[in-house]
Chains A and B, each alone.
Chain A
Amino acid sequence: MGQTVTVPITLTVNGKQHSAEVEPRLLLAQFLRENLSMTGTHIGCDTTSCGACTVIIDGGSAKSCTILAVQANGSEITTVEGLADGDNLHPIQEGFWEKHGLQCGFCTPGMMMSSVALLNENPNPTEDEIRHGLAGNVCRCTGYHNIVLAVQYAADKMKS
């Protein structure tokens, strides 16, 4: 061990390239929050259980608290900050708003990223598919019912 050796990485986050020298032990979630000041990606646990840190990496949802920033070198990442188009909310954001899919909002960024990944793959999910698609995300407040409604709202909106 001894002195810290850093590693150069380049990631594309929400369409914009970022290069940095990082310690190999830096987690992707920390990189996003601390190096890029994108604090929408939350950290809710130490056990890879809660999904609050979910981002989309090269098309697939992933828990950024359990990925080293160096592992993501070269990847394309979408975070919750990348959902809205200027002042226009993404359909999933609108869905959470319209259907009261949140209370404290802590789990919401992760819920939305998992939902977007689900809808990209399956634009017409059944309720069962939505619930299974969100199995990696935990909410302590809402009881999930309105979250499912929010995803259904977004699915309908994205079709039209």
Chain B
Amino acid sequence: MIPAPFQYHKPASVAEAAELLKKHGSDAKILAGGHSLIPLMKLRLAQPEVIIDIGSIESMSYVQERDGGTAVGGTTHYVDIANSSIVPTALSEAAAQVADVQVRNRGTIGGSLAHSDPAADLPAALIALKGQIITSSTGEHRTIESNEFFQDLFTTSLREDEIISEIFIPSESSGTGSAYVKFANKASHYAIVGVAASVTIAGGKCTEASIGVTGAGPAAYQASASVSDLIGSNLDNADVEKASSKAGEGVEFNDDVHASGEYRAHLVTVFTERAIKLASSRAG
């Protein structure tokens, strides 16, 4: 299948891309790795009139240590995040489990977050790590907390004129471990359910925790009830089981050909437990 015709722009910088996006408004679509957008265009489910290709803006692809955390450029490929030794484990582990080698060589972190597929891996990791999404529009930057970014099915708080230029992940407190585990669709490897956890242990007790869940509902979310249960606990089996049983609280579960809502609810509990245990084993 061949996409419908479109006008093609290849800006040399984020600023130039933002200008083009402002000029063309809702007729335009940003193209990064193209591994969500091009399949949609081939099936003609998307027919943008203007494509703004940011995929080869070199200054947008990096993983860097910064004051207080790690910065990842908006078009950094999964493969470079998976191989990075400086991003927290939950993020590199999530990137390493996206799809297959070919997709990981092309797909980008910004594209994954902006697309907000309910089965995407990176949103869960970003929520667990309390990452921030930094956007650029003409003459302006905005910082959005990951907790507020993923709003609904394929819906984020990104404005039409904004480009994700960077992702910032705050440094982990000492004694923190993180992990991402998923139950993958065997064909596409999309997450039927995926859970990222970050756990901080001090003096034998859990002092901080954060849990991102993907695949379960319309968009990735923070499992707040589980987190409240974990903090202050000793993280023994009973604590973890009880906290995990609350990870699907209030969620309207996806129910489709891959898994029923009831099955997803079960998976959320099981995979939250595994993520917490793996993160805890790396903490302290």
Contacts and interface: CB of A to CB of B under 8 A. Distances in A.
Interface in A64-86: 65-68, 70-71, 73-74
Given A49-B188, A71-B34, A114 B5 contact: no
B30 to A, nearest CB: 13
Interface string A101-113: 0000000000000
A47 B38 CA distance: 10
Interface string B91-115: 0000000011111011000000000
A27 B1 CA distance: 9
B6 A62 contact: no
Interface string B22-54: 000000000100110011011100000101010
A5 B7 CA distance: 7
Contact of B101 (A25, A66, A118): A118
Contact of A1 (B34, B49, B188): B49
Nearest to A66: B38
Contacts of A5: 7-8
Interface in B209-223: none
A42 interface: no
Nearest to A25: B3
Given A63-B103, A67-B106, A68-B53, 13 more contacts: A1-B49, A5-B8, A25-B6, A48-B38, A49-B188, A61-B101, A63-B106, A66-B42, A67-B38, A71-B31, A118-B101, A136-B100, A136-B102
B238 interface: no
B101 A114 contact: yes
A49 B101 contact: no
A71 B101 contact: no
A26 B56 CA distance: 18
Nearest to B9: A24
27 contacts: A1-B6, A1-B49, A4-B5, A24-B5, A24-B7, A46-B1, A46-B43, A48-B103, A54-B102, A57-B105, A61-B101, A61-B105, A62-B106, A63-B102, A63-B103, A65-B42, A66-B38, A66-B106, A67-B34, A68-B53, A70-B10, A70-B53, A71-B56, A114-B102, A135-B100, A136-B100, A137-B100
A55 B67 CA distance: 40
Nearest to B106: A62
Given A5-B7, A24-B6, A49-B187, A71 B55 contact: yes
B5 A61 contact: no
Interface in B53-107: 53, 55-56, 79, 99-103, 105-106
Contacts of A25: 2-6, 41
Interface in A17-58: 23-27, 30, 46-49, 51, 54, 57
A24 B51 contact: yes
A60 interface: yes
Query: What is the interface residue range for chain A against chain B?
Result: 35 or more
Contacts of A49: 187-188
Given A24-B8, A25-B4, A135-B189, A48 B101 contact: no
Contacts of B100: 51, 135-137
Contact of B35 (A27, A48, A57): A48
B5 A1 contact: yes
A30 B3 CA distance: 12
